[in-house]
Chains A and B, each alone.
Chain A
Amino acid sequence: MLNNKNIVIGIAGSGGDGVISAGEILVNAASSEGLFVFMLKSFGAQIRGGESSVRVRISDLPVQTQGDRIDILVVLSWSNFMRFKAEMQLEERLVIVSDSDDPMPDDEVPLTETQREFWYKVPFGKLAEEHTGSRLAKNIVMLGAITELFSLPKEALQKSIKKTFRNKGDEVIASNFKAIRAGEDFVKEQIVKIDPLRLDYEPRPPRLVMQGNEAIALGAIYAGLDFYAGYPITPSTEIMEWIARYLPQKEGVSLQMEDELASINAVLGASFAGKKAMTATSGPGISLMNEGIGLASMAELPAVIVNVQRGGPSTGLPTKTEQADLMQAIWGSHGDSPRVVIAPCDVEDCFDCTVLAFYISEKYQLPVIILSDQFIGHRKESINPESIGGGASGFRKVYRRDTPSEEDLKDYRRYKITENGVSPMSYPGIKGGEYLGSGIEHNEKGDPRGDVATHAKMTEKRWKKLDHFKEEFQFERFYGPQDAKLGVIAWGSTKGAVKEAVNKANAMGMSVSAMIPQLILPFLVEPFKEFIRNKNRVIIPEMSYVGQFRRYLRGFVRFGRYGVKVIPFTKAGGAPFMVEEILNKIIEEWKDMEARR
């Protein structure tokens, strides 16, 4: 449905067409006008070359998702578009902008009659060559053309180009300006606009543009990260790349290790040495780290471990998203291994969750897993600058680890049993605080002990830490009217589609509410009980074929006892939920509930 306040642009081309950089320039231009932006990239399997596509949603109003359908399809090469056709859901009332010189005959282009009605052709490559001497700038010609066609922010586009090419010299910038102009002029002179689409917006102060992975890296530095050790793995690598560049500016150390086994153990070494330490990986890496995560539980070492989930099992879908590492995060290590699992639900939340993860892990001396996913990690969103850094909305507390007092050091017991399970933790440099830390069961002093009574006592001590922090934080998000009879419970990146769907459903006259928990483990049952108390049905959408989240919830929440029917809504990952998918499910359940009244 064409809507001038909110448009979704899909761009497809070959790897060398500059599709991704065009998308980024566009996103920056829109964000500098204060527009709300959401961008997703998609690549073929090739490392260089091949095909790529990008989807940019630009809106005058806040957005939660990438937008279900593409309003404007920009094609730099039809043959490359073909590879993405399945994942580029197109509006039936579509506007197409393509290269006039594309070798594919018009009648072979796989679109419907209606979709072909608004079809503009611009010789992107030819214009680039004529005006800049090289076909390379055809993506910029394209940006000039679509800016003119759809009233996208024109001055902001120039500003964005200037910033993108600032390190390449004035000549390159001037040449790209020529390319924009060539696109604009061609549209003005040669094209008669017949579609009604024009972006309509109020300019506002600029917004920041950030990826989920960057927000995690930034959150870690905000929280006082001292040490990072990791091993590259898609889709988490940007976290390490960012930290490797910026952590040394704060005199921190970032190490690329030989594998994930080394990464987690180096992190634990740094933590033992009294430093705030983190690693980030994806599912396969977590599989390797699980023994080390258990060591962190046992030796009571704070550590933050990020899992940017991808499709699995095994190598699975490295560049696509899924929510199927949930049980692994909760129960991944052998033994009863206390840890905390937190799931961010969007880019801004990645920052908050990371600050929170460090707070919890340093205060309670245990591993905290941040369960993000490719959909959040790789997307770009526009962020309110106020909400990060000095902002007030999210969790911003930074914790300094408790060290032993003089009294503690008189007869130092590293694993002293205390009321909340947390014991004073020393580190090298503190005289009198020497102790043996270990993965083997130990007594309060740290001496290895294999007896049943010690194991029982110390296991309880380690788990007790999870009982004591629920009062400290607010972990849930709620949308829609609380008294609704129909509910949705989802976690992580599914939030976006759920929130938009719930808002739409309520606008359509239904009454639906949603709950998105940020804390996965420990499981705080009360807010769930409260949420389902007056519900008849609860839909649980998740990108896990077997419904890991639903199974997990059912272990704690007795839906049946409250007379609540659970509606599983699962799918294997790859593509994130569309708003429409969730909305249709809501409508289906709503109608059924009405019919049975």
Chain B
Amino acid sequence: MSEAMKAADYKSELKPIWCPGCGDFGFLNAMLKAMEELQLQPENTALCSGIGCSSRLPGYIKAYSFNGIHGRVLPFATGVKMSRPETTVIAVGGDGDGYSIGAGHIGHAARKNIDITYVVLDNNIYGLTKGQASPTTPLGVKTKTTYYGNMGTTLNPVRMLIAYKASFVARTFSGDPKHVQKMLVEAIQHPGFSFIEVLSPCVTFRGSDQFKLIREKVVYLDDDRDLSDEVKAFDIANDEDKLTLGVIYKQIRPTYGDVIRHNVIERARAASNGTPDIDALLKQFQP
């Protein structure tokens, strides 16, 4: 057994491109510590992302990292996990990447219960393209593309994920890296699709008071309740006056990998009596 890995050992040589004061720094540090706590092996860890400020994160961590295209992190991560189940797969992205262009994938990764952790660093804005509205930008906020104020109801991601049957739903705040680390550890250990909404302020395009404003609304949940109570989970999500942090919903059910292994591959192999060679497969084409 090699020596224990320290948080700093997980750092890559790349320096983050984020603005000073960005919430993502807090998350990155918490992530490195969570990796230390779990003693993840870089060679057996895959960090995937799409496009956005937060999607740069995989490059800053020593692992099998992939920075793909906008909105497609979940299918990519699904491909990694389903083809190499022994790998710990973490998908990361922002609110634009996940809740806008990539929103169509969340429901499917969640309902299938793909055994990956999906972290959304939600800053309520498009930062990389310098300040346009996202699905979580509050109503009325003026951005570069919403000159007359943002129209349309703001998305409530936690409620969406509970509705989609994500088997683990948590919210945390990058201003509290210890809590982020705790949530990450639980999410990564959770067998199935685990989702973490990370409130990760953009001080550049949403203002330097964002940390303060979030702190005022934060309430911490304890786990002293039935985490699989969906109605209770919706109640927590629906209370938009507060920002409730913690594990909001959790349910244990078979992962897609388990299902494919037991209900598909094992049945297929029983039907074929082991691995068929090409000649066996050709039999069905005999007249």
Contacts and interface: CB of A to CB of B under 8 A. Distances in A.
Check if A and B associate: yes
Interface of A: 27-32, 156, 159-160, 163, 206-210, 214, 218, 221-222, 226-227, 229, 245-246, 248-251, 253, 255, 257-259, 261-275, 277, 291-292, 295, 299, 382-383, 385, 388-390, 426-440, 447-448
B275 interface: yes
14 contacts: A159-B287, A206-B287, A209-B287, A226-B83, A258-B108, A265-B69, A265-B79, A266-B82, A388-B282, A428-B64, A432-B43, A436-B58, A437-B65, A447-B13
Contacts of A163: 287
Given A292-B72, A430-B43, A439-B69, A268 B79 contact: yes
A234 B77 CA distance: 27
A448 B51 CA distance: 13
Q: Which 7 A-B pairs have the closest CB atoms?
A: A269-B79, A248-B268, A266-B79, A262-B75, A270-B83, A265-B75, A28-B287
Contacts of A274: 83-84
Given A273-B87, A274-B84, A434 B63 contact: yes
Contacts of A435: 64-65
B75 A428 contact: no
B207 interface: no
Given A209-B287, A227-B79, A448-B59, A436 B66 contact: yes
Given A29-B287, A270-B84, A448-B67, 12 more contacts: A208-B285, A218-B278, A218-B282, A258-B104, A269-B48, A269-B66, A389-B282, A428-B64, A429-B86, A430-B43, A433-B64, A438-B67
Interface string B23-43: 000000000000000000111
A431 B43 contact: yes
A218 B83 CA distance: 20
A7 to B, nearest CB: 18
Contact of B68 (A210, A255, A268, A270): A268
A269 B67 contact: no
B219 interface: no
B84 A428 contact: yes
A263 B41 CA distance: 28
Contacts of A156: 287
Contacts of B74: 262
A222 B277 CA distance: 9
A438 B276 CA distance: 37
Contacts of B287: 27-32, 156, 159-160, 163, 206-209, 382
A262 B87 CA distance: 20
B234 to A, nearest CB: 24
A180 to B, nearest CB: 17
B276 A429 contact: no
Interface residues of B, number: 57
Given A253-B260, A388-B282, A436 B67 contact: yes
A127 B79 CA distance: 55
Contacts of B265: 248, 251, 253
Contacts of A272: 46, 64, 66, 76, 79-80
Interface in B244-287: 260, 264-265, 267-269, 271-272, 275-276, 278-279, 281-282, 285-287
Contacts of B87: 273, 428-429
B165 interface: no
B206 to A, nearest CB: 25
Contact of B83 (A31, A259, A277): A277
A508 B23 CA distance: 80
Nearest to B41: A431
Nearest to A156: B287
A428 B80 contact: yes
Interface string B95-106: 000000000110
B1 to A, nearest CB: 13
B69 A295 contact: yes
A269 B77 contact: yes
Contact of B82 (A31, A270, A434): A270
B286 A206 contact: yes
Given A261-B72, A431-B43, A436-B12, A266 B271 contact: no
A57 to B, nearest CB: 15
B171 interface: no
Contacts of B54: none
Nearest to B108: A258
B231 interface: no
B73 to A, nearest CB: 8
Interface in B222-248: none
A261 B75 contact: yes
A389 B279 contact: yes
A299 B58 CA distance: 15
Contact of B65 (A28, A207, A218, A436): A436
Given A251-B275, A429-B86, A295 B75 contact: no
A299 B268 contact: no
A261 B70 CA distance: 11
A31 B46 CA distance: 50
Nearest to A437: B66
B14 interface: yes
B281 A246 contact: yes
Contacts of A430: 43
Identify which of B66, B105, B281, B287 gathers the most chain A CB atoms within 10 Å of its CB.
Answer: B287
B117 to A, nearest CB: 15
A269 B63 contact: no
